[in-house]
A and B are shown apart, each in its own frame.
Chain A
Amino acid sequence: MINFDKVFKRYPGNMDALQNINLEILPAELVFVTGPSGAGKSTLLKLISSVERPTSGTIVFENMNLSQLKSKDIPYLRRNFGMIFQDHKLLYDRNCFENVSLPLAINDIGGMNINRRVRAALDKVGLLNKEKIMPISLSGGEQQRLAIARAIVSRPSILIADEPTGNLDREYADEIMNIFYSFQQVGVTVIISTHELPITPIKHKKVHLISGRLEGQADYVQLPS
């Protein structure tokens, strides 16, 4: 589904964020990208969503070479992804319903479909009763769930989450992770960057980065302790 082949990313100032990354992500896989701060986790996710371009090497997503993607095609690529950020990136002048409906408007989906799909997405994350509420009134965990609802509403094939539980308490973090697992179970590829690998009851892949290098890549089935 996604293939990294000898990918390097160098930021201005000769700072190597990623070095010689070779990685394959399969459909419906749950992937944890782990490593300390500055290891290149976010850069890896940014390369997948074409927020950044690699300095060298190739990234292929469903036969599309992302390294050579034209700027005008990038928005259409991103519509394949549901993106979740540590700081939620919600629009605080719009209510929950309007926040979640934004990707549908972008995807030219209109009319009754919007209402049905937004309500379904909000229901999945347990926020159906808060559709008219402004995001600022929600707790941190609820805001992240709202961000997940926005990410899943257009039914993307891949969910990309950059430190989605970084700002949350343990209880909320587990809640969010369980939502991700439920999507992986129905065939969505889920890529999550995190400092620490959470205790995960399902099969997953761990991609460990240190100083921009891939230090380990392995499949695990981790059972709850």
Chain B
Amino acid sequence: MFNYLHNHFQAFNRAMVRIFSNISSSLMMFIVIGVTLFLPSSGLLIVENVSQISNNIAYDAELSLFLKKNIKQDQIDFIQSALSKTSIIKKIHFESKLTAWDKLQSKLNLNPLDTGMSENPLPDAFFISLNTFDEKAINVLIDNLKTIDGVEDIFFDAGWVKKLRSILYLIKIGLSFLGIILIIVLIVVIGNTIRLQTLTHKDEIEVSKLIGATNSFIQRPFIYTGLIYGLGGGFMAVLTLKLSIEIFNKASINLEAMLGGTFILKNLIWQQNITIIIVAMLIGCFASFFAARQSIKKFEIFN
């Protein structure tokens, strides 16, 4: 067991020697892997952040139910009681036309004489919070509410949130495809680099075979090289991502006054950072394993 581990340590050592003996091309490889992984990771990070905002918005979405101008109080009471019996309604808030008019005037700093309006143009309204986003259930509710006498109009305010969610979902699918394509690109790039390395070490491979080395023994340093490429590239991706988030958030805070609000990207949690690094290492390992195996097979000394 000790000897087995010692051999692995030696293979790792040889891989490190190969990487450090060609440090510039190794750094290039780290950057290629880092940048390639950065693209889908940053996209997914932004989508995740926007998704969280859309989720928060969804909880505040309301169904606005506007009543007819000449509605009587007993009709309002009837509607309120009907609403309170509906299961998908979480909260009901009634706003009388007088309250709404007062609010509007104070918000816009209006004087009735200035507006030239002799009477309050606003209707009584119910603002309803729903506990579901099931489109069918909401449409049934809207249809039912429309049949109630005294109801003038109904607006479902969360429609745009659904559209945003759909768009985000599509972007997520797109990013996943992009991620898969970029992973394939990485496998090809790392695999090709490892294949070239096997050509550089052709003599060593042939001598090792002649003195009894198994293919797995010969492959080992190449696999470790791929693994280290993945590790370096993964770190590069995480660092680039962190740096980008910092720069974006700083810029966002600086523009707060101008835009009247900020959009702060949440940083990756450590599990996500580790995941990126592990994914990069697995890609490196997978690519180098297959490239080295194929290449070493070609050096078979049989005729």
Which residues of A pack against B, CB within 8 Å?
A: 11-12, 49, 51-53, 71-72, 75-79, 81, 83, 89-91, 93, 102-103, 105-111, 150-151
Kindly list chain B residues whose C-beta atoms are within 8 Å of the C-beta of A51.
Answer: 210, 301-302
Pairwise interchain contact B2-A111, C-beta atoms closer than 8 A: yes
Minimum C-beta distance from A147 to chain B (A): 10
Interface size, B (range): 20 to 34
Instruction: Tell me the complex Cα distance, A89–B215, Å.
Output: 19
Instruction: Tell me the complex Cα distance, A106–B212, Å.
Output: 7
Instruction: Tell me the complex Cα distance, A78–B2, Å.
Output: 23
> If A91-B204, A110-B6 touch, does A103 touch B302 (CB 8 Å cutoff)?
no
Pairwise interchain contact B214-A11, C-beta atoms closer than 8 A: no
Give the top 6 A-B pairs by smallest Cβ distance, nearest first: A110-B6, A110-B3, A79-B212, A78-B212, A106-B213, A75-B214
Q: Is B270 part of the binding interface, using a Cβ–Cβ cutoff of 8 Å?
A: no
**Contact of A102 (CB < 8 Å), options: B2, B208, B214, B301:** B208
Q: Is B211 part of the binding interface, using a Cβ–Cβ cutoff of 8 Å?
A: yes
Pairwise interchain contact B203-A89, C-beta atoms closer than 8 A: yes
Q: Is B209 part of the binding interface, using a Cβ–Cβ cutoff of 8 Å?
A: yes
Pairwise interchain contact B4-A108, C-beta atoms closer than 8 A: yes
> If A51-B302, A52-B302, A53-B302 touch, does A108 touch B209 (CB 8 Å cutoff)?
no
Pairwise interchain contact A91-B210, C-beta atoms closer than 8 A: no
Minimum C-beta distance from B242 to chain A (A): 38
Pairwise interchain contact A89-B207, C-beta atoms closer than 8 A: yes
Instruction: Tell me the complex Cα distance, A11–B213, Å.
Output: 26
Instruction: Tell me the complex Cα distance, A210–B7, Å.
Output: 45
Minimum C-beta distance from A211 to chain B (A): 19
Instruction: Tell me the complex Cα distance, A107–B4, Å.
Output: 10
Kindly list chain B residues whose C-beta atoms are within 8 Å of the C-beta of A71.
Answer: 302
Pairwise interchain contact B6-A111, C-beta atoms closer than 8 A: yes
Pairwise interchain contact B7-A105, C-beta atoms closer than 8 A: yes
Instruction: Please indicate which of the listed interface residues B4, B203, B207, B215 has the most CB atoms of chain A within 10 Å of its own CB.
Output: B207
Kindly list chain B residues whose C-beta atoms are within 8 Å of the C-beta of A49.
Answer: 210
Pairwise interchain contact A110-B7, C-beta atoms closer than 8 A: yes
Instruction: Tell me the complex Cα distance, A89–B206, Å.
Output: 9
Instruction: Tell me the complex Cα distance, A151–B213, Å.
Output: 13
Pairwise interchain contact B210-A83, C-beta atoms closer than 8 A: yes
Q: Is B303 part of the binding interface, using a Cβ–Cβ cutoff of 8 Å?
A: yes
Q: Is B217 part of the binding interface, using a Cβ–Cβ cutoff of 8 Å?
A: yes
Pairwise interchain contact A89-B210, C-beta atoms closer than 8 A: yes
| A–B pairs, 26, beta carbons within 8 Å | A51-B301, A51-B302, A52-B303, A71-B302, A72-B214, A75-B214, A78-B211, A79-B212, A89-B203, A89-B207, A91-B203, A91-B204, A93-B204, A102-B207, A103-B212, A106-B208, A106-B214, A108-B3, A108-B4, A109-B3, A110-B6, A110-B7, A111-B2, A111-B3, A111-B6, A151-B211
Minimum C-beta distance from B224 to chain A (A): 14
Minimum C-beta distance from A110 to chain B (A): 3
Known pairs A77-B212, A108-B4 / 7 extra A-B pairs, C-beta < 8 Å: A72-B214, A78-B209, A89-B207, A90-B207, A103-B212, A110-B7, A151-B211
Minimum C-beta distance from A107 to chain B (A): 7
Instruction: Please indicate which of the listed interface residues B3, B10, B214, B301 has the most CB atoms of chain A within 10 Å of its own CB.
Output: B3
Pairwise interchain contact B212-A76, C-beta atoms closer than 8 A: yes
Contacting A at CB under 8 A, from B1-23, are 2-4, 6-7, 10
> If A51-B302, A89-B203 touch, does A106 touch B3 (CB 8 Å cutoff)?
no
Instruction: Tell me the complex Cα distance, A223–B50, Å.
Output: 93
Kindly list chain B residues whose C-beta atoms are within 8 Å of the C-beta of A81.
Answer: 212
Kindly list chain A residues whose C-beta atoms are within 8 Å of the C-beta of B204.
Answer: 91, 93
Instruction: Tell me the complex Cα distance, A83–B301, Å.
Output: 15
Pairwise interchain contact B301-A106, C-beta atoms closer than 8 A: no
Give the residue name and chain of the B residue nearest to A12 (CB): B303
Instruction: Tell me the complex Cα distance, A110–B106, Å.
Output: 86
Kindly list chain B residues whose C-beta atoms are within 8 Å of the C-beta of A53.
Answer: 302
Pairwise interchain contact B10-A102, C-beta atoms closer than 8 A: no
Pairwise interchain contact B212-A107, C-beta atoms closer than 8 A: yes
Interface membership of chain B positions 45-64, coded 1 if the CB is closer than 8 angstroms to chain A and 0 otherwise: 00000000000000000000
Instruction: Tell me the complex Cα distance, A90–B210, Å.
Output: 12
Instruction: Please indicate which of the listed interface residues B2, B212, B303 has the most CB atoms of chain A within 10 Å of its own CB.
Output: B212
Kindly list chain B residues whose C-beta atoms are within 8 Å of the C-beta of A72.
Answer: 214
Give the residue name and chain of the A residue nearest to B217 (CB): A106
Give the residue name and chain of the A residue nearest to B21 (CB): A93
Kindly list chain B residues whose C-beta atoms are within 8 Å of the C-beta of A150.
Answer: 211
Pairwise interchain contact B303-A11, C-beta atoms closer than 8 A: yes
Instruction: Tell me the complex Cα distance, A89–B303, Å.
Output: 19
Give the residue name and chain of the A residue nearest to B216 (CB): A75
Instruction: Tell me the complex Cα distance, A142–B213, Å.
Output: 25
Instruction: Tell me the complex Cα distance, A132–B188, Å.
Output: 38
Pairwise interchain contact A78-B210, C-beta atoms closer than 8 A: yes
